[in-house]
């Protein structure tokens, strides 16, 4: 019987999984509280006594498997679900509390041993799994200091070492525990942990290799017996699988130390791997039809795990593996050559490993003569250390030649009247790159899903993807043998294609699938074939007739347009070899109305969409050639969108339309209504990925508006269409930037970009545009994530809306900017400062009261920068702030001095000194001439103030003015055309540069200001305020003579 506390705990577990609320919630809450508080070792022992198998002789030494169970009958009375719930709770409890050392070392040792015993004797597989995970979790923390090798592994594996007559289940459970612990320990990455794992692996290898060999041998003996039962086979193969996983973990994570300490055993392990993998593979091929599906899956996993060890070690230790190349090349060749590969039950993962092995071996530089150090060109010879039983040694030519000889002997051996390399290439293309019956079934079932899956599968998941990698490896590593072989296959495909076009009736499915595989190879190898294969004439004579054939059955298998799909894909691969003259007919062929009928094949449509996008973004794209097909392409794409079922397909259609808009530029303007008309329907039909589709539509609209902006004259000719586009854009922006819309977080940035682009196109300030700005203010009040975009919008509104806009929003803008200044990054702060410059210039002093507080914050920021406060703004931000203050001094000096500086002469002098300092130290790219001129005009305006301290700075101010005057003269000289010989290109560049410089409305008065006259005027005003002319004369003596001369001339 369980003790009272343990019994209460069991009741809580039962209520947490079976009771209804509120009982269940209360139980979960109590379990959570217990999880956060520590439990005593005695309580845990009572809980173990009630839930798991406990040893009848807890003090006994030796094998756990041989100790008796004291409470088997009690445990059997408890529901497995409750025990599993308790096991999961304990796993999380130990993860939280074990490292906190809440129990004594003796109590912790008792807990560890109890868990080991329970895991080995647990009858239920899932409960045992979680017990093993708890043990692995504790071992990660305690091994090997608190939990030594003798305490952790010896009790579990001792019966295997002594050859005790244990049941297969006990053997498997012991190996399971060892595997979970070893796998967990292998994930520790610190150097000390790596050394501990290497030592563990060295100690375990002899026992594990013997046990694994024994398990596989017994399993092979069992499968050759008269009538093995399925249960016995499944148990035996389950033990083999776990043993193989354990051996794989040790080999792959500690191979270097194993070679140094057990080189003979490592060699024996490779030989056993070859022997057992060959036997299991033969058994699998011979009995695949008779084996139950679960057992067949276990057999395939065993073969895969063994092959994975070989492939991974060869890839990581190529030279060390060289002596095993010949047997494993032969073995994996047998795997690829098996006649059963086309059966539905073929071992896919084993095929993938075999293909990957050949790809790794054939691409390995260490097996090639280029790695020899005795060659004339040693620049590519690798510097490699080789692991041996006596330690690391340098790579030698003899090692390279040994690997090279093994590879060459294999690939040059005769196979069916051709070399093995040619046979491998042919088998890769015609067998593994060919569409399988399952592929055709998936295509027919859901064409769009088939296309998406085919494009997303990797070489670890797909036989065809791995075969494509092997094909490319052969083409790149052995082009002299591979290219002629591929040309032979191309010749055969050409004859089959001619036969397809000239023969009426259904095509031979086998020939169609073979041709599809060859075309796939030609597309993949386009870079290697570029210089030796004239693609365009071959394309016109062999592929175009199939593509344009009036019969839908031509090149089809079971109604699926296999060859048309592949031809469209192939044309996208070889765009670089297609001349300009062939592209218009190809556009015409791809946009065949028959392909895009409502009942047209979806996979072919998708392939056409992707190829069309590749053509319009290709460097050889010509707008003039495509414009005649633009209406048809938009019609086909929009029609296809309305019939797509996958969001990925919708995204591809929108991506193609977007690419067309960007490629056509201003030529899209006459068709903008055709582009925009279907977008509302697309907006509402996004399905599961609604926000992705809408985000893509926002991007498309942005690019459409940018194209319209390129040619305002042409846009004016299509004003009604443009107006509809703008109206739709504003509706979309209103939705995308609405704070009450739950999806706005996904659409906000795209909506702001459409908004900004729309304002570039608009010529008039409308009421809809005016009301919409409220969304931008609410956004900026919520967070500052999009402050740059909102600041850009504010500047555009100020320029376009002027008084109407400012009258409505001045208060909200001022209050919002007060919270933003000082709380955003430098780029955003500079952008906001430029926007405030526009406010200062556009509106009179009586209308800028809402930004005076912001200006005061800028003054405080300048003073903090001068004081070197830790939280000060960056230099460029301060320069931007001082430009705003300079604008205020230019346009509203009295207001600036009285309300912003509040007649604080010390603050004003600090800012003036900072301006004079940064005038010379800030780089010109961040401080252009126009801004510098604003500064000197503002500083010159201060000369009239009755301040002796300011007068003392007259010389510095006049020096700055003269420097700006000199820079203006240089700029004007650069703008004048040059009559020098050879200056045509430079003159054209200067002309372009002059046209690209657009002077804004607020900058025009500054640009046109005669600085010399302005400064002279201010000096005269200053002289009139002085007590006597002698004071001015004395002041001028402090100014550099060259400065005075430039001002007087």
Q: Indicate if the pLDDT at residue 19 is higher than 80.
A: no
Across 61-65, 423-427, 590-594, least confident range: 61-65
Lowest-confidence segment of 69-73, 642-646, 819-823 by average pLDDT: 69-73
Of 243-257, 323-337, 454-468, 1024-1038, minimum mean pLDDT range: 1024-1038
pLDDT of residue 305: 94
Lowest mean pLDDT among 37-41, 55-59, 170-174: 55-59
pLDDT of 369 > 80? The answer is yes
d(CA 498, CA 145): 75
> Do the beta carbons of residue 305 and residue 245 sit within 8 Å?
yes
Q: What is the pLDDT of residue 34?
A: 86
Tell me the mean pLDDT in the region 550-569. Answer: 92
Range scoring the smallest mean pLDDT among 373-382, 425-434, 540-549, 616-625? 373-382
Confidence label for 625 from pLDDT (cuts 50, 70 and 90): very high
Locate 978 and state its tokens: 């040059």
What percentage of the chain has pLDDT greater than the value 70? 92
- Whether residue 177 contacts residue 119, with contact meaning beta carbons closer than 8 Å, is answered with yes
Tokens, residue 77: 């009375």
Angle at CA of residue 769, ends 764 and 774, nearest 5°:
145
772 or 167, which is more confident? 772
Question: Over 90: is that where the pLDDT of 55 sits?
Answer: no
Q: Are 667 and 622 in contact (CB under 8 A)?
A: no
pLDDT score recorded for residue 340:
43
Buried b (16+ CB within 10 A) or exposed e, 97-122: bbeeeebeeeebebbbbbbbbbbbbb
pLDDT band at 112 (very low <50, low <70, confident <90, very high): very high
pTM: 0.84
What is the model's pLDDT at position 787? 92
Average pLDDT over residues 426-431: 95
Flag whether pLDDT at 384 surpasses 60. Answer: yes
Quickly state the pLDDT bin for 1005 (edges 50, 70, 90). confident
- Average pLDDT for the chain: 87
The one-character DSSP state at 385 is: E
Is the CB of residue 849 less than 8 Å from the CB of residue 815? no
Q: CB of 381 within 8 A of CB of 375?
A: yes
| pLDDT per residue as tens digits for the range 746-803 | 899 999 999 999 999 998 999 999 999 999 999 988 888 899 999 999 999 999 999 9
Beta bridge pairs of residue 139: none
Question: Which segment, 50-64, 760-774, 926-940, is predicted with the most confidence on average?
Answer: 760-774
Please give the pLDDT value at position 345. Answer: 52
Give SS3 for 959: helix
Q: Is the pLDDT of residue 666 over 80?
A: yes
Confidence of residue 346 (pLDDT cuts 50, 70, 90): low
Given a contact cutoff of 8 angstroms between Cβ atoms, the answer to whether 916 and 866 are in contact is: no
Res 68: pLDDT: 59
pLDDT (0 to 100) of residue 949: 84
Give the per-residue pLDDT at 63. Answer: 59
Q: Which token pair is 493? A: 């495909």
Q: What is the phi/psi pair of residue 314, to 5°?
A: -65, -40
Q: Is the confidence at residue 703, as pLDDT, over 80?
A: yes
Give the per-residue pLDDT at 376.
46
Domain residue limits, the chain? 1-185, 928-1049
Tens digit of each residue's pLDDT (9 = 90 or more) over 582-613? 999 999 999 987 788 888 899 999 999 999 99
Span 484-499, mean pLDDT? 94
pLDDT at 8: 86
- d(CA 251, CA 233) in angstroms, rounded, equals 26
Confidence of residue 981 (pLDDT cuts 50, 70, 90): very low
For residues 907 and 862, what is the distance between their CA atoms, to the nearest angstrom? Answer: 9
């Amino acid at each position: 019987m369980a003790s009272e506390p343990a019994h209460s705990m069991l009741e809580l577990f039962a209520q947490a999984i079976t009771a209804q609320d509120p009982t269940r919630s209360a139980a979960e809450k109590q379990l959570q509280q217990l999880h956060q508080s520590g439990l005593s070792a005695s309580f845990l022992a009572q809980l173990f006594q009630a839930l798991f198998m406990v040893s009848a002789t807890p003090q006994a030494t030796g094998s756990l498997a041989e100790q008796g169970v004291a409470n088997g009958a009690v445990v059997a009375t408890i529901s497995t679900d409750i025990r599993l719930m308790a096991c999961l709770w304990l796993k999380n409890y130990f993860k939280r509390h074990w490292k906190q050392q809440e129990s004594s070392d003796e109590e912790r040792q008792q807990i560890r041993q109890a868990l080991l015993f329970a895991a080995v004797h647990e009858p239920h597989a899932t409960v045992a799994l979680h017990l093993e995970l708890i043990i692995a979790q504790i071992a990660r923390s305690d091994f090997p200091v608190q939990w030594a090798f003798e305490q952790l592994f010896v009790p579990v594996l001792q019966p295997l070492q002594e050859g005790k007559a244990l049941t297969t289940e006990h053997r498997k459970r012991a190996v399971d525990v060892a595997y979970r612990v070893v796998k967990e320990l292998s994930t520790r990455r610190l150097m000390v942990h790596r050394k501990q794992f290497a030592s563990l692996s060295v100690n375990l290898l002899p026992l594990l290799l013997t046990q694994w060999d024994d398990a596989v041998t017994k399993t092979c003996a069992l499968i050759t017996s008269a009538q093995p039962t399925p249960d016995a086979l499944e148990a035996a193969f389950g033990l083999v699988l776990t043993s193989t996983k354990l051996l794989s973990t040790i080999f792959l994570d500690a191979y270097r130390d194993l070679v140094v300490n057990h080189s003979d055993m490592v060699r024996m392990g490779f030989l056993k791997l070859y022997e057992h993998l060959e036997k299991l593979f033969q058994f699998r091929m011979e009995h695949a039809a008779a084996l139950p599906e679960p057992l067949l899956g276990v057999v395939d996993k065993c073969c895969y795990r063994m092959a994975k060890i070989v492939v991974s070690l060869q890839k990581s230790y190529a030279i060390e593996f060289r002596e095993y190349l010949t047997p494993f090349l032969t073995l994996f060749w047998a795997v690829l050559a098996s006649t059963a590969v086309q059966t539905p039950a073929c071992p896919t993962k084993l095929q993938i490993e075999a293909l990957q092995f050949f790809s790794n071996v054939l691409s390995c530089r260490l097996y090639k003569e280029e790695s020899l150090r005795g060659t004339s060109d040693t620049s590519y010879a690798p510097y490699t250390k080789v692991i041996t039983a006596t330690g690391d040694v340098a790579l030698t030519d003899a090692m390279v030649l040994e690997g090279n000889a093994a590879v060459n002997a294999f690939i040059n051996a005769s196979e069916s009247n051709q070399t093995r390399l040619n046979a491998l290439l042919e088998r890769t293309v015609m067998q593994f790159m060919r569409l399988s019956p399952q592929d055709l079934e998936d295509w027919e079932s859901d064409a769009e899903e088939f296309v998406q899956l085919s494009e997303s599968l990797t070489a670890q998941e797909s036989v065809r993807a791995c075969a494509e990698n092997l094909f490319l490896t052969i083409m790149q590593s052995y082009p002299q043998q591979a290219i002629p072989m591929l040309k032979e296959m191309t010749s055969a495909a050409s004859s089959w294609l001619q036969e397809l076009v000239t023969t009426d009736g259904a095509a031979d499915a086998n020939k169609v699938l073979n041709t599809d595989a060859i075309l796939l190879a030609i597309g993949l190898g386009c870079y290697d074939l570029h210089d030796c294969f004239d693609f365009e004439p071959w394309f016109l004579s062999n592929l175009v007739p199939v593509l344009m054939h009036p019969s839908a059955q031509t090149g089809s298998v079971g109604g699926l347009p296999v060859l048309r799909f592949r031809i469209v894909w192939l044309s996208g691969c070889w765009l670089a070899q297609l001349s300009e003259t062939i592209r218009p007919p190809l556009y015409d062929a791809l946009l065949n109305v028959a392909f895009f009928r409502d009942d047209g094949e979806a996979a072919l449509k998708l392939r056409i969409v992707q190829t069309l996008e590749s053509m319009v973004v290709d460097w050889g794209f010509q707008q003039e050639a495509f414009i005649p097909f633009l209406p048809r392409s938009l019609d086909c794409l929009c029609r296809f969108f309305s019939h797509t079922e996958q969001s990925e397909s919708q995204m591809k259609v929108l991506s193609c339309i977007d690419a067309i808009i960007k490629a056509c530029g201003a030529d899209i303007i006459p068709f903008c209504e055709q582009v925009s008309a279907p977008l509302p329907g697309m907006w509402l039909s996004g399905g599961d990925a609604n926000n992705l589709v809408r985000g893509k539509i926002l991007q498309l609209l942005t690019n459409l508006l940018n194209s319209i902006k390129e040619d305002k004259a042409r846009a004016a000719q299509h004003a009604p269409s443009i107006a509809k586009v703008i109206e739709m854009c504003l509706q979309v922006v209103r939705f995308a930037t609405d704070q009450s819309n739950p999806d706005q977080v996904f659409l906000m940035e795209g909506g702001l970009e459409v908004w900004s682009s729309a304002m570039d196109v608009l010529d008039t300030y409308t009421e809809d545009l005016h009301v919409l700005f409220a969304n931008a203010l609410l956004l900026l009040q919520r967070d500052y994530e999009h402050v740059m975009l909102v600041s850009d919008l504010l500047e555009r509104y100020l320029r376009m809306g002027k008084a109407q806009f400012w009258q409505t929003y001045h208060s909200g803008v001022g209050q919002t900017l007060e919270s933003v200044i000082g709380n955003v990054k430098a780029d955003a702060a500079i952008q906001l400062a430029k926007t405030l410059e526009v406010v200062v210039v556009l509106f009179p002093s009586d209308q800028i009261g809402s930004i005076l507080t912001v200006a005061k914050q800028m003054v405080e920021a300048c003073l903090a920068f001068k004081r070197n406060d830790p939280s000060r703004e960056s230099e460029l931000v301060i320069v931007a702030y001082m430009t705003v203050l300079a604008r205020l001094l230019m346009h509203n000096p009295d207001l600036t001095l009285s309300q912003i500086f509040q007649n604080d002469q010390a603050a004003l002098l600090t800012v003036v000194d900072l301006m004079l300092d940064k005038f010379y130290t800030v780089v010109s790219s961040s401080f252009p001439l126009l801004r510098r001129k604003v500064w000197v005009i503002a500083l010159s305006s201060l000369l009239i103030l009755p301040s002796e301290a300011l007068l003392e700075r007259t010389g510095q101010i006049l020096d700055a003015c003269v420097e700006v005057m000199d820079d203006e003269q240089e700029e004007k000289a650069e703008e004048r055309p040059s009559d020098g010989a050879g200056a045509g290109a430079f003159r054209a560049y200067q002309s372009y540069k002059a046209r690209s410089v657009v002077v804004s409305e607020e900058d025009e008065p500054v640009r046109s200001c005669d600085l010399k006259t302005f400064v002279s005027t201010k000096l005269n005003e200053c002289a009139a305020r002085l007590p006597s002319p002698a004071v001015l004369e004395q002041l001028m003596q402090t100014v550099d003579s060259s400065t005075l001369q430039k001002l007087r001339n």
